[in-house]
Structures are given as structure tokens and as C-alpha cells.
Structure 1
Amino acid sequence: MRAVWISALSTLALGVGLFCYLAPLDPGVLALQFAFTPRSFGQIVHFWSPADLARYRSHLPADFAFLFAYGLFGYLLATRTDVAAARAPAFRRVLSWLLPVAACFDAIENALHWWLTEMPRFGVAPLYAASGAASSLKWLLAFGFGLMLAYAAYRAEDD
């Protein structure tokens, strides 16, 4: 249970830290995550000052630590606690892999953002689409994890 708490507190600390660090960016990071085309991506990046872009790029190493922390937290919560114990083994197995897989898509998104923000890159529209798709899948999986966790908690009250 100690590992669950450590991963939860690490995720929380890194998440709050990143949120505060990136808060000055306008438009925010979420807008960049859902930029599927070179044009929409470029409109956001070019709206930022050079210092804003440097701020965004400098957060990426910490974001890799964050995605590792939340992926580990999701796995440990599902496998080392009784949060999903009343559900079928398949339910627990799916729950245990949702955040780690989301973290993998987050890593893909970060790697693409690191490369795409290094300098203007034209003619690689599929990579902008891949970045947006990776982000979308990350958010869908995280949302799915939350829904499954809420369902497990709801069902636990009925038992």
C-alpha cells in the first residue's frame, strides 16, 4: 500500500507543479494537445513568445516523470488495493492497464511535441495528426480509468 501512496503523492506533486509552471501560457497546453494540423499547431506556437515556447519545451522532461508517475499509480491502485476486488478479474485487468497505456500515448505526444516545437516543420502533417491522436487517446483512456474507478466504488457501496 505504501507504493500506491508514494505514486499518488508523486503524481499529485508533479501534476500541480506542471500546472503552475505552464499556467502563464495562453493559449494553454490543452489547446496544443488537440492541434491536429500544422496550421492549428503553428497558430498556437506562434502566438507564444520565445520565452513561452522555451517554457513549454523545458517542461517536457518533468512531464515524462509525471506520465511515469500516473501510469504507475494507475497500475498499483488497480492491482494492490481492493478498489476493484469485487469486480471480475477482467475488470481489474483492464483497469490496471488504462493509465499505463495512457502514459505511453502521452510519451508519444511529448516526443512529437519536442520535435515539432524545435523549429518550424512543414510537410509532416501526419505527425501533427499523430500527436493530436496520441493526446486524444491519452485523455480517453484517463477518462475511462476515472469512469471505471467510479463504477467500482459505486458497486462496492452496493455490496
Structure 2
Amino acid sequence: MRAVWISGLSTLALGVGLFWYLAPLDPGVLALQFAFSPRTFGQIVHFWSPADLARYRSHLPADFALLFAYGLFGYLWATRAGVTAAREPAFRRVLSWLLPVAACFDAVENALHWWLTDVPRFGVAPLYAASGAASSLKWLLILGFGLLGVYALYRADD
């Protein structure tokens, strides 16, 4: 249970810290995550000053720590914590892998953003689409984990 708490509190601390660090960016990071084309991506990045772009790029190593923390938390919470009331092993197995897989998509997104924000790259439209798709899948898996996690806690009362 200690590992669940440590990974959960690490996720919370990193998430709050990164939210605070990136708050000055306008448009925000979420807009960049859903930029599927070079034009949309470029419009967002060009709203940022050089210091804002440097701020965004400098957050990426900490974001890798965050994705590791939340992926670990999701796996540990589903396999060791109060989800044991979800009696179906298949349900628990699916729940246990949602956040780790989301973290993998987040890592792909981060790697693409690292490369795409280094210099303007307009001739690689499929990579912008891949970045947006990875982000979308990440957020869908996180939402799925949240919904199934609430369901599992609800079932714990049965």
C-alpha cells in the first residue's frame, strides 16, 4: 500500500507543479496537445514568446517523470488497493493497464513535441497528426481509468 501512496502523491505533486509552471502559456498546453496539423501547431507555438517556448520545452523532462508516476500509480492502485472488490479478474486487468498505456501514449506525444518544437518542421504533417492522436488516446485512457475506477469503488460497497 505504501507504493500506491508514494506513486499517487508523486503524481499529484508533479501534476500540480507542472500545472503551475505552465500556467503562463497562452494558448495553454492542452491546445498544443490537440493540434493535429502543422498549421494549428505552428499557430499555437507562434503565439508564444521565445521564453514561453523555452518554458514549454524545459517542462518535458519533468513531464516524463509525471507519466512514469501516473502509469505506476494506475497499475498499483488497480492491483493492490481498494479495487479488490472488483471481483472479475478481467476487469481488474483492464483497469490495471489503462494508465500505463496512457503513459506510453504520453511519452510518444512528449517525444514528438520535443522534436517538433525544436525548429519549424512543416513537411512532416503525419507526425503532427500522430502527436494529436497520441494525446487524444492518452486522455481517453485517463478518462476511462477514472470512470472504471469510480465504478470499482462503487462496486466495493456491494
Which band: TM-score by shorter chain? over 0.9
Which residue of 1 is the match for residue 106 of structure 2?
A: 106
Deviates more, 1:75-84 or 1:121-130: 75-84
Q: Distance in 2 between matches of 1:84 and 1:53?
A: 44
Which residue of 2 is the match for residue 134 of structure 1?
A: 134
SS of structure 1 residue aligned to 2:24? coil
Q: Distance in 2 between matches of 1:6 and 1:26?
A: 32
Deviation at 1:4, TM superposition (A): 0.3
SS of structure 2 residue aligned to 1:94? helix
Q: Structure 2: which 5+ runs fail to align? A: none
Q: Distance in 2 between matches of 1:145 and 1:84?
A: 15
Partners of 1:85 and 1:92 within 8 A in 2: no
Deviation at 1:122, TM superposition (A): 1.3
Partners of 1:113 and 1:131 within 8 A in 2: yes
Q: How many residues align?
A: 158
Deviation at 1:81, TM superposition (A): 1.4
Which residue of 2 is the match for residue 7 of structure 1?
A: 7
**1:49 is the counterpart of 2:49:** yes
Which residue of 1 is the match for residue 95 of structure 2?
A: 95
Partners of 1:87 and 1:152 within 8 A in 2: no
Which residue of 2 is the match for residue 154 of structure 1?
A: 154
Q: Structure 1: which 5+ runs fail to align? A: none
Partners of 2:82 and 2:153 within 8 A in 1: no
Q: Distance in 2 between matches of 1:10 and 1:102?
A: 17
Which residue of 2 is the match for residue 115 of structure 1?
A: 115
Deviation at 1:84, TM superposition (A): 4.0
**Letter aligned with residue 99 of structure 2:** L
Deviations 1:107-144 (A, max 9, x none): 00000000000000011000000000000000000000
Partners of 1:38 and 1:122 within 8 A in 2: yes
Q: Distance in 1 between matches of 2:138 and 2:13?
A: 20
Partners of 1:84 and 1:91 within 8 A in 2: no
Deviations 1:4-59 (A, max 9, x none): 00000100000000000000000000000000000000000000000000000000
Partners of 1:45 and 1:53 within 8 A in 2: yes
**Letter aligned with residue 75 of structure 1:** Y
**Letter aligned with residue 40 of structure 2:** S
**Letter aligned with residue 54 of structure 1:** A
Q: Distance in 1 between matches of 2:49 and 2:84?
A: 46
Q: Distance in 2 between matches of 1:82 and 1:153?
A: 7
**1:66 is the counterpart of 2:59:** no
SS of structure 2 residue aligned to 1:83? helix
